[in-house]
Structure 1
Amino acid sequence: MKTEKNSMLKWIVIGVFAIVVVVAGIIIYNNKSHIDELSNQNADLNMTIEERDSLVNEMANTFDEIEENLTFIREKRSQLVLDQAEGKQDQKKVLVADIKLMNEMLEESSKKIDELEKQLKSSGIEIKSFRNKIAKLSESIKQQDENIQVLKTELEKRDYQIAEMDLQIEKMDSQMVVMETDLVVKADSIKNANNLIAEQDSELNKAFFTSGSFDELADNGVLTKEGGFLGIGKSKTIKEDFNETYFTELDKRNTNYFPLFVKKAKIITEHPDSSFRFIEEDNLITYLEIENPEEFWKVSKYAVVETKQ
């Protein structure tokens, strides 16, 4: 009886131990699965953190690059001077090159902003501060782009104004050429007119003088005797076809004295007595003085003086 009890107790102990072992195995198995799950979750979390850190670093670097670009553009734009008044072609080339550079930098920054948006969206990581930063940078890029467009518009406007000025200058140059040509023509006309007037004036004031004995004047085809009867009472007069070459040409405006140095002198041509006189010195008539040239030459532009030694 006692032996049976011991045997039964032994099997009970074995059964309890087996149950304990089974329960312990189950507990250990469950804990291991949970640990594996926690390990996997931890690995995923670490990967997510690494991806986030990588994204954060990449975005921070991109932010720095964009801000550097925008700072450069702001400074560059403040240095630009749109002064084309003097039409400096070299300055215009610099302005165009600077505007092109700023446009390229803005386009590059815009592309980087788009890439950041895509990366942030595809990562599944929501970082509010980054979205705010992206929004501010996008607005800044938009503002700078508007400023650049204003610069381009102003440059195009000034180019148009310069082109208009060039056309006006070209037109004025053409007008100046025409005016200069007209002035030359008018100057030539005035010169020719003045020459003609001078010639006419000189012709109008041209006079002729000659003197000598009757025989000299007659022999040289200047004087002749006309009228009378049988050679008596003939008067001395200038020939109708007198010899002009025996006269001295003069300008009656500035010739008022004719040297004679003879004992006797008589004017054959017709001149008012009040317009002239003979000047005598040392019993000689030294010269003929014309006191009133206008009156003296009024009747004839030829003066003939007969002299006797």
Structure 2
Amino acid sequence: MRKILYFVAALVVMAGIASMSSCKKDKAEVAKVNQDSIDNLALTDSLATIRAEKDTLAALMMEVSDGMNQILDMQNQMSVENLNSDSPDKKIQLRNNILAIQQGIVEQKQRVAQLEKRLKQSTNYSDAMKKQIASLKQQLDHQESIINSLTAQLQAAHVTIKNLNTKVDSLNTENAHVTSAYNSASARAQEETQRANNLVNEMNVCYYVVGSKKELKRQKIIETGFLKKTRVMEGDFTQSYFTKADKRTLNRIALHSKKAEIMSRHPSGSYVIEDEGGQKVLKITNPSRFWELSNYLVVKIK
């Protein structure tokens, strides 16, 4: 009986040992699986980081390439001929484009510096990446150099244009002075012409009156008496009774009478008195001679 008990106890101990051995083995396998998972996750993160950095590099290279194309287009626009012929609005647009590209270059340089710093701190900084970073830096430096040159050209063009504007302003001022002087001289000439015209008009003013003997005596234009020679306008005659006219245009006076006699002094041969429809008409045939002795014409009618 005692032998049986020993045998059973031995079996129990052996089973326990086997169970403990199996548990230890399972724990080791679990630990190994966990470590493999951690390693896989770390590898995945590393690959993701590498891809992200490569994508960042590629994007930067694309941006720098696009920026270079913009600069080349701007170089073509900023030829000497275009700068001299372009409007002020066009030059302002060019200046704004240059400022935008300058700001873009600064930002791209900052991003390249940050990326380079991250790469140097990691184990993913391969020779290929180093070359790409160096190429980006070189391209950005080259772009910055071109932009500085374009800025200098634009400033030089602005100075030239400013100088031209100054000359134009000076010419405009001088022209204004000349125009003012011309206008003053023209005004003076017009005044002189007007005075001359007025003088000529005054020299060609003439006066005539047509009236009966009674009317003419009443206006003191003629003076007569018994056995006394008729005198014309030797006293204080009535000036307003005369009609004012122009010697150059007065060549015909309708007398509205069947009989007429000129009382004032006018050379014979410089006029005629004719009948028209039973009425007398005075026609001045030679105005310069007719008015050379007197500017007043007195005609007595019956």
What TM-score, normalized to structure 1? Answer: 0.65
Q: 1:242 aligns with which of 207, 232, 237?
A: 237
Q: Deviations over 1:226-247 (max 9, x none)?
A: 9xxxx53634333154332221
Amino acid at match of 1:300: S
Q: 1:291 to 1:121 in 2, by over 3 A?
A: same
For 1:107-256, list aligned pairs within 5 A.
Answer: 107-113=106-112, 128-175=127-174, 177-178=176-177, 181-182=180-181, 184-225=183-224, 232=227, 234-256=229-251
SS at match of 2:294: coil
Paired position in structure 2 for 1:294: 288
Is the Cα contact below 8 Å between 1:265 and 1:285 reproduced in 2?
A: no
SS at match of 2:199: helix
Q: Deviations over 1:91-149 (max 9, x none)?
A: 55554443233223323343455566667777799955444444433332222112211
Q: 1:264 aligns with which of 252, 259, 272?
A: 259
Shift of 1:182: 4.4
Write the distance in 1 (CA, Å) between the matches of 2:119 and 2:256.
130
Identity, % of aligned positions:
21
SS at match of 1:279: strand
Is the Cα contact below 8 Å between 1:276 and 1:290 reproduced in 2?
A: yes
Shift of 1:168: 4.1
Size of the aligned set, in residue pairs, is 253
Q: 1:122 to 1:296 in 2, by over 3 A?
A: same
Write the distance in 2 (CA, Å) between the matches of 1:285 and 1:125.
132
Write the distance in 2 (CA, Å) between the matches of 1:265 and 1:236.
17
The yes-or-no answer on 1:275 pairing with 2:274 is: no
Amino acid at match of 2:207: F
Write the distance in 2 (CA, Å) between the matches of 1:119 and 1:232.
143
Is the Cα contact below 8 Å between 2:222 and 2:230 reproduced in 1?
A: no
SS at match of 1:163: helix
Amino acid at match of 2:142: Q
Gaps of 5+ in 1: 1-48
For 1:78-117, list aligned pairs within 5 A.
Answer: 78-80=72-74, 81=77, 85-88=86-89, 94-113=93-112
Write the distance in 1 (CA, Å) between the matches of 2:256 and 2:117.
128
Write the distance in 2 (CA, Å) between the matches of 1:286 and 1:265.
7
SS at match of 2:249: coil
SS at match of 2:255: strand
SS at match of 1:234: strand
Is the Cα contact below 8 Å between 1:210 and 1:248 reproduced in 2?
A: yes
Write the distance in 2 (CA, Å) between the matches of 1:252 and 1:180.
40
Q: Deviations over 1:248-276 (max 9, x none)?
A: 11111111111123343222222111110
Shift of 1:205: 1.0
Q: 1:235 to 1:221 in 2, by over 3 A?
A: closer
SS at match of 1:153: helix
SS at match of 1:258: strand
SS at match of 1:261: coil
Write the distance in 2 (CA, Å) between the matches of 1:61 and 1:304.
119
The yes-or-no answer on 1:71 pairing with 2:70 is: no
Shift of 1:60: 3.3
Amino acid at match of 2:102: N
Is the Cα contact below 8 Å between 1:238 and 1:268 reproduced in 2?
A: no
Is the Cα contact below 8 Å between 1:62 and 1:112 reproduced in 2?
A: no
Shift of 1:289: 0.4
Gaps of 5+ in 2: 1-42
Write the distance in 1 (CA, Å) between the matches of 2:276 and 2:59.
118
SS at match of 1:305: strand
Write the distance in 2 (CA, Å) between the matches of 1:58 and 1:198.
97
SS at match of 1:262: coil
Write the distance in 2 (CA, Å) between the matches of 1:178 and 1:123.
77
Q: 1:54 to 1:215 in 2, by over 3 A?
A: closer
Shift of 1:70: 1.0
Write the distance in 2 (CA, Å) between the matches of 1:105 and 1:246.
97
Write the distance in 1 (CA, Å) between the matches of 2:288 and 2:270.
8
Q: 1:104 to 1:306 in 2, by over 3 A?
A: closer
